[in-house]
Structure 1
Amino acid sequence: MTKSNEKKTSGHSYPFLTFFIVTIVITFTVTWYVHKRLMIPPKMPKLDKNEWWGPVPQHIDPDESIQPFRIEFSDVMINDLRERLLHRRASPPPLEGVGFTYGFNSNFLTRVLDYWKNEYDFKGREEYLNKYNHYKTNIQGLDIHFMHILPKKKVDGDDVKTVPLLLLHGWPGSICEFYELIPKLMDVQPEDKFAFELVVPSLPGFGFSESAAVPGLGPAQMAVIMHKLMQRLNYRVYCIQGGDLGHTVGSIMATLYPRHVMGFHTNFPALVFNPLASIYVIFGSYWPSLTVNPEEESRMYPYMDYVTRTLEESGYMHIQATKPDTVGIALSDSPAGLAAYILEKFSTWTNPEHKRASDGNLLGKFSMAHLLDNIMVYWVTNSITTSMRVYAETINSKRITIDFDSIPTLVPTWGIKFKHELVYHPDYVLRLKYKKYLHSTLVEDGGHFAAMENPDIMAVDIKSAVKTFLQYRSPIISKRPPTAAETQPSTVYDFTVLDIQGREVKLDKYRGNVLIIVNVASECGLTETNYKEFNQLHEKYYERGLRILAFPCNQFGGQEPGGAKEILTFIKKNDLKLDFFEKVEVNGEKTHPLWKFLKQAQGGSFGDFIKWNFSKFIVDRNGVPVERFGPNVNPLELESNLQKYL
């Protein structure tokens, strides 16, 4: 009887043990996945930076010259537009007292369309839009339109510098957003110490820039094209300002080209696709006072009010991310439909309370002529469909753009937050990506179309931001010494080290190369495999620009005990091809500055500290640490990762 009971008890213990083990495995797996998804930045997406977006077959030798361009409102177009406005079908009357809560009020739309047909000065507005110099140039198969505005007087000198500034519009905006801002930016005051050279493009598929002939042209690909535009204009280093889609493109440019982007100013400071940012915002709703300043709390909390408004104003996004061409057919054929669809955003995105007014309070901040200038850009170029496709390329088809919101950038960043912007994130959330987020300007007014609504505020803020960016890049511009925060390194090129023979080496000598930086030891169990495979990588990829920088370190098991003489003997004996540097510490109070920077730029899985010998960092051709690997990853396993940068 006793034996039988013992067997029965023993038999029941196995399911419990199995359940316990399975629970542990599942918990560990889920924890690991959540940690990886939220805490470890994704790898830099691989972009084809020469992808052809024009009609196929690709031109073997495309004309890449810069040609003057002029906006034209032809008589044929004007007459056709007036005929469509004259013979438009009457819209059903709005419900009593609804204002703009059901969308654009059809009674007020009649006033807008009558003005457009009878009072809008087509030829006068054509001249107004041509007041700045316009150009086109072909980049990756697309004719890209841009305005290029230079100072009236030469201002370069010891005290005054010219600063290239790229202004990027959003949707449903255009270059017209900046017409009131431009003269305020170009007005050089003695205290400015700099003058702008402005580049104001139409993004691909918008306005006067050609649209892609094949799928896939999203914000990341636009970022590549915009950088090439600046290079074609011989701007090696420049600043960026953007909002809405312009923010997304500018942010990606700062991530992809940190050596070229001096600073990034945004009037849409948000991490829309960063999951950790969303979690912080949600949890912050339980303790708002711990997460945001009292003057900012109402912009984001109560959280359900914030979510409700977002849902109310984001229906267009779902349509454009899934069926842009369907709605585009209607908007391309009807000027009344186009005006209603776009101008409704200028009402409610400027202030949600405007939807209660029968006229949407549209003329409270904007003139009718300026509003219709923007509509004309879409109508004349028939670009509403192609402009909306960017939502499908961003949200619906590829995650490549979304990943960029989680990849850190060290480019100095400055935000201005208008009261009624569609999305709001506190500074501590923004620093999840923008590691040098310098400042937020809070404005107790204004909304989404900041440059057009508040050009004076924007001009002052952009100048303040650029003044700070210049202190990073050229401290001599400022009469005061830069603060410690302003002199933080942004790439490995900012460091000087000693080689194994004690000679000073500026890492700037590696500019343009892809680097592997690794801490090494001569007596580690990993030594033989790592050195053998590093030699193989050197022989295979040296001609393509790979350089391997080895820093001996004795902090892990005392496995690099010798001095420079002993290490040099070991290097010669084993015929090692790496570039060797002085023996350093990579953890603790005496951590070498370069290694502090590497760890800050690419944190480890369970903390920033280096875990053991042969921890590896990949640095791209711009000097930015882009990937990190632990000691357990052998050098030859890095080949697929290196291919993205070589």
Structure 2
Amino acid sequence: MAEKTKKLKAPVKPKRSWAIPIVLSSLATVGASYYVYYLLNAPPDMPKVNLEAYWGQYPMNPKPDQSIRPFKVEFSEVMINELRNLLLHRRPFAPPLEDVGFSYGFNSNFLTRVLDYWQNKYNFADREKFLNKYNHYITNIQGLDIHYVHVRPDVTQDVEVVPLLLLHGWPGSFREFYELIPELAPKQEHNFALELIIPSLPGFGFSQGPARTGLGSLEMAVVMRNLMERIGHKKYYIQGGDFGHIIGSIMATVFPENVLGFHSNMPMVFFHPMATFYTLLGSIMPSLIVEPEIYDRIYPLSKQMSFLLEETGYSHLQATKPDTVGIALTDSPAGLAAYILEKYSTWTNPSNKRASDGNLLSNFLLTHLLDNVMVYWASNSITTSIRFYVEALGSRQMGYKLDRIPTKVPTWGIKFKYEMFTQPDIILKLKYQNYLHTTIVDGGGHFAAFESPKILAQDVLQAIIMFREFWGVSKENVQDLPQPEPDMATSVHEFTVRDIYGRTIKLDKYKGYVLLIVNVASQCGLTDKNYEQLNELYNKYSKSRDFRILAFPCNQFNSQEPGTSKDIIKFMNKRNIEFDVFQKIEVNGENAHPLWKFLKRVQSGTLGDFIKWNFSKFIVDKNGIPVERFGPNVDPIDLEPHLGKYW
């Protein structure tokens, strides 16, 4: 019998596994991505700093005068007569094109008006006196005579004096801080006072310019650090915008042991590769990158880039051929005024360029603007000031990569609506590791100290309070005063509270004012109408009738005030709240603030003394006595006739 043929099965090939290549590929991708991310974020080495670099004329004095000498701004008769003569005999200007406003530059028709005012109405003697109202000094730092304004506070010995270095930019000067100074004066609610040091940057105003190349942003930061040490300050705060921001940022980076806090009104990280990446990503996925309040200040990128290309031509000129333009501006007061003041128009609000007068006089007084021009004219410093662009934007300075070196110095920024450069906080935190807060202002532009001194000063003071808290200084470094017994008190003036910034406030500061005290919340159905009308009442009567509003956030009613003090501050800034807001408290129960226990005792409600809901309101007369009480259903604006009884 024939054998049956056995069919042999083909050997089974093992199935190929794709898992390992996929895993390896993923790991390689992750590794490569991390490596690229590391390259983009790895901080470079700190540049070597020469604290004794010499910038003056040779031969070097072996025993330089390092004293601090008094200085006076002087508008001499010779200089005034020469200036008036140049203004009088200026050549006729080409007339502007029809309906161009300032879009072609400074409108020559309006310039004629400015120059006539400068020649005939600008009071040189009065302005010289004004500029000398504060103490000025000169001292030699690294071979250069450095000028600064020094404002010391007049306070008692129990008040701590802390130094604040105020740094200007171009085309600014020390003059732009003069309206800011009184706003930073000691306040009753603070237990610290600011000592202000306001230098002219080297080559600007009455500070001597360098005799050779190389004095860039880093080197200027060294000069400012040495100036503060010469004055006697090893630790201090810094505020700056424009070049003041750049120099202040470098000081916080290179000298963190000296800088206690850095406040900027132009917070920027200019040269960081991740900043570019985040900016581009924000145009695609804005919710991941940019705060909604500032989205339209950055995007669309095409609009922003077009604006910057149009407005930064001066920078390229000054960074390449400063002496050429400097010669023209040194020889012509008309050219100097047009060149400088045009920036105060467009950089305050880009839409100003459509106006025939650049809307200059809508934001500034012509006398004040000409004060700043006079600083450049009287000191003959326009050329030395714009030379700084060559040094600051040159390859040597870029090579330091200072924007990629992080700093732990606490930092605070304020973003005005029409500032030329705006960045989201996610970019700022690449460099400023302790970036504490951003204040967003729905208005204002590049020259914050000049245009918005009250807003800027309030923000600087808030920042310094937070900086002090960051370093472990107790809030205002004072203990709460013992509160009176609510059952025994006779006036709200006997109580003490904390404001939203943590400052201790004695309510006797409101003696002589009619008060409206209200508990508020930011997420209540009554919020919009009440805040809008409270603002309206405050703006209408705070100056004309000695009226104040005291708002106390409270989270006891359906948890409609859940945020932190920082959240509440952000809410206030968004709504431009000007009346006084205090820290979150309880108004009912055992933990109710003693002030509110007193208010409820004196003015009990119809259904009991407890507070029923958000936006309950108490009117307090000028003697501090609660005289009327209104429920949440009463709109603030309807209180006008009731308030009128107590003016």
TM-score normalised by length of structure 1? 0.68
Q: Cα offset for 1:288?
A: 1.6
2:451 is aligned to 453
CA contact (8 A) 1:394 1:402 kept: no
Shift of the alpha carbon at 1:239?
Answer: 0.2
The 3-state SS of whatever aligns with 1:208 is coil
| Aligned-residue offset at 1:475 | 2.2
Does 2:167 align with 1:165? no
CA distance in 2, matches of 1:102, 1:291: 35
Tell me the secondary structure at the aligned position of residue 163 of structure 2.
Answer: strand
1:523 matched to which residue of 2? Answer: none
Percent sequence identity is 58
Measured after TM superposition, the shift of residue 361 of structure 1 is 0.2
Partner of 2:542: none
Q: Report matched runs for 1:328-339 at 5 Å.
A: 328-339=326-337
SS at match of 1:280: helix
**CA distance in 2 between partners of 1:290 and 1:217 (Å):** 39
In structure 1, runs of 5+ residues without a counterpart are 1-26, 487-646
Residues 220 and 401 in structure 1, CA contact (< 8 A), matched pair in contact too: no
One-letter code of the match for 2:193? A
Deviation at 1:331, TM superposition (A): 0.5
SS at match of 1:145: strand
Cα distance in 2, alignment partners of residues 28 and 91 from structure 1: 64
CA distance in 1 between counterparts of 2:476 and 2:305 reads 43
Q: Pick one of 432, 443, 458 that aligns with 2:441.
A: 443
Partner of 1:259: 257
Match of 1:69 in 2: 71
What displacement does 1:31 show? Answer: 7.5
Q: How far apart in 2 are the matches of 1:413 and 1:29?
A: 33
Residue 183 of structure 2 aligns to which amino acid in structure 1?
Answer: K
| Partner of residue 217, structure 1 | 215
Q: In the alignment, which residue of structure 1 is the partner of 2:184?
A: 185
Q: How does 1:292-307 map to 2 (within 5 A)?
A: 292-307=290-305
Aligned pairs for 1:532-547 within 5 A: none
Q: Which residue of 1 aligns with 2:17?
A: none
- Whether contact under 8 Å (1:45, 1:400) holds in the other structure is no
Question: What is the alpha-carbon distance in structure 2 between the residues aligned to residue 34 and residue 399 of structure 1?
Answer: 24
Task: Please state how far the C-alpha of 1:282 moved relative to its aligned partner.
Answer: 1.5
Corresponding residue of 1:416: 414
**Corresponding position of 1:201:** 199
Specify the alignment match of 2:276 in structure 1: 278
Q: Which structure 2 residues correspond to residues 609-628 of structure 1 after superposition, within 5 A?
A: none
Give the distance between the partners of 2:62 and 2:38, measured in 1 at CA. Answer: 44
Offset from partner CA, 1:103-133 (integer Å, 9 cap, x none):
1100000000000000000010000000000
Q: Name the residue aligned to 1:243.
A: 241
Question: In the alignment, which residue of structure 2 is the partner of 1:142?
Answer: 144
Give the C-alpha shift of residue 234 in structure 1. Answer: 1.1
Equivalent position of 2:129 in the other structure: 127
CA deviation vs aligned residue, 1:533-577 (integer Å, no higher than 9, x gap): xxxxxxxxxxxxxxxxxxxxxxxxxxxxxxxxxxxxxxxxxxxxx
Whichever residue aligns with residue 52 of structure 1, its letter is: Y
3-state SS in 2 of match to 1:196: strand
**CA deviation after TM superposition for structure 1 residue 41, in Å:** 1.0
For 1:29 and 1:379, locate their aligned partners in 2 and report how far apart those are by CA, in whole Å. 59
Per-residue CA deviations over 1:495-525 (Å, capped at 9, x if unaligned) read xxxxxxxxxxxxxxxxxxxxxxxxxxxxxxx
The match for 1:152 is 154
1:480 is displaced (CA, Å) by 9.5
Q: Could you tell me which residue of structure 1 aligns to residue 117 of structure 2? A: 115
Q: Are 1:144 and 1:201, in contact at CA under 8 Å, matched by a contact in 2? A: yes
Residues 136, 143 of structure 1: 8 Å contact kept = yes
3-state SS of paired residue (2:225): helix
Q: Which amino acid is 2:184 matched to?
A: L
Q: Which residue of 1 aligns with 2:49?
A: 47
Separation in structure 2 between the aligned mates of residue 275 and residue 352 of structure 1, nearest angstrom: 28
Conserved in 2, the CA contact under 8 Å of 1:394 and 1:401?
no
Instruction: Return the alpha-carbon distance in structure 2 between the equivalents of residues 459 and 152 of structure 1.
Output: 18
Q: Distance in 2 between matches of 1:259 and 1:340?
A: 42
Question: Which is further off, 68-77 or 46-55?
Answer: 46-55
Please give the alpha-carbon distance, in whole angstroms, between the structure 1 residues aligned to 2:161 and 2:472. Answer: 12
Q: Are the equivalent residues in 2 in contact too, given 1:288–1:301 (CA < 8 A)?
A: no
Match of 1:364 in 2: 362
Shift of the 174–401 alpha-carbon distance from structure 1 to 2, 3 Å rule, reads: farther
Q: Write the distance in 2 (CA, Å) between the matches of 1:479 and 1:237.
A: 18
Q: Distance in 2 between matches of 1:58 and 1:31?
A: 53
Secondary structure of 2:164's aligned partner? strand
Task: Verify the 8 A CA contact 2:217 2:397 in the aligned structure 1.
Answer: no
What SS does the corresponding residue of 2:96 show, helix, strand or coil? Answer: coil
1:363-442 alignment runs, 5 A limit? 363-400=361-398, 403-442=401-440
* Whole-angstrom distance in 2 between the partners of 1:415 and 1:425: 11
For 2:460, the equivalent position in structure 1 comes to 462
Contact 1:421 1:448 in 2 (8 A): yes
Partners of 2:168 and 2:242 within 8 A in 1: yes
C-alpha deviation, 1:397, in angstroms: 4.2
Stretch of structure 1 that moved more, 30-39 or 339-348: 30-39
Q: Which amino acid aligns with 2:85?
A: E
Q: How far is 1:38 from its partner?
A: 1.4
Q: 8 Å contact 1:262–1:412 — kept in the other structure?
A: yes
Q: Secondary structure at the match of 1:319?
A: helix
- Asked if structure 2 preserves the Cα contact closer than 8 Å seen for 1:273 and 1:402, the reply is no
Mind listing any 5+ residue stretches in structure 2 that lack a counterpart? 1-28, 480-500, 502-647
Once the two structures are superposed, residues 223-251 of structure 1 have per-residue CA deviations (whole angstroms, 9 ceiling, x without a partner) of 11111111111112100000000000100
Q: Which whole-Å CA distance do the structure 2 matches of 1:475 and 1:150 have between them? A: 22
- Is 1:345 aligned to 2:354, yes or no? no
Q: Aligned match of 2:92 in 83, 90, 93? A: 90
- How much does 1:275 deviate? 2.3
Judging changes above 3 Å, is the alpha-carbon distance between structure 1 residues 31 and 377 closer, same or farther for their aligned structure 2 residues? same
* Number of residues of Structure 1 aligned to a counterpart in Structure 2: 452
Residue type matched to 2:254 in 1? L
| Cross-structure match for 1:290 | 288
Bigger shift: residues 176-185 or 275-284: 275-284
Going from structure 1 to structure 2, the CA distance change for 1:292 and 1:397 (only over 3 Å counts) comes to: closer
SS in structure 1 at match of 2:51: coil
Q: 3-state DSSP class of the match of 2:162?
A: strand
CA displacement 1:311-364 (0-9 Å, x = unmatched):
111101100111111111101100000000100000000000000000000011
What secondary structure does 1:330 align onto?
helix
In 1, the alpha carbon distance for the partners of 2:31 and 2:116 equals 64
Q: Partner of 1:432: helix, strand, or coil?
A: helix
State the alpha-carbon separation in 1 of the partners of residues 400 and 88 from structure 2.
44
1:96–1:33 Cα change, 3 Å: farther
- Give the superposition deviation at 1:293: 2.2
Counterpart code for 1:268:
M
Which amino acid counterpart does residue 171 of structure 1 have in structure 2? W
Check the 8 A contact 1:193/1:477 in 2, yes or no: no
| Matched-pair contact (CA < 8 Å) for 1:300–1:306 | yes
Contact 2:319 2:387 in 1 (8 A): yes
Q: Is the 8 A contact 1:134 1:147 kept in 2?
A: yes
Q: Distance in 1 between matches of 2:309 and 2:47?
A: 30
Residue pair 1:192, 1:463 contacting (<8 A) in 2 also: no
| Alpha-carbon shift at residue 208 of structure 1 (Å) | 0.2
Aligned residues of 1:268 and 1:415 also touching (Cα < 8 A)? yes
Separation in structure 2 between the aligned mates of residue 412 and residue 275 of structure 1, nearest angstrom? 23
3-state SS of the aligned residue for 2:256? coil
Task: Name the residue aligned to 1:19.
Answer: none
CA distance in 2: counterparts of 1:370 and 1:422, whole angstroms: 22
Q: CA deviation at 1:29?
A: 13
How far the C-alpha of 1:371 sits from its partner, in A, is 0.2
CA distance in 1, matches of 2:222, 2:99: 48
Asked if residue 327 in structure 1 is aligned to residue 328 in structure 2, the reply is no
Taking structure 1 as reference, are residues 451 and 152 closer, same or farther at Cα in structure 2, changes over 3 Å only? same
Do the aligned partners of 2:252 and 2:259 also contact (CA within 8 Å) in 1? yes
Letter in 1 for 2:473: P
The answer to whether the 8 A contact 1:192-1:467 is kept is no
Q: Please name the residue that 1:535 is paired with.
A: none
> Residue 104 of structure 2: SS of its match in structure 1?
coil
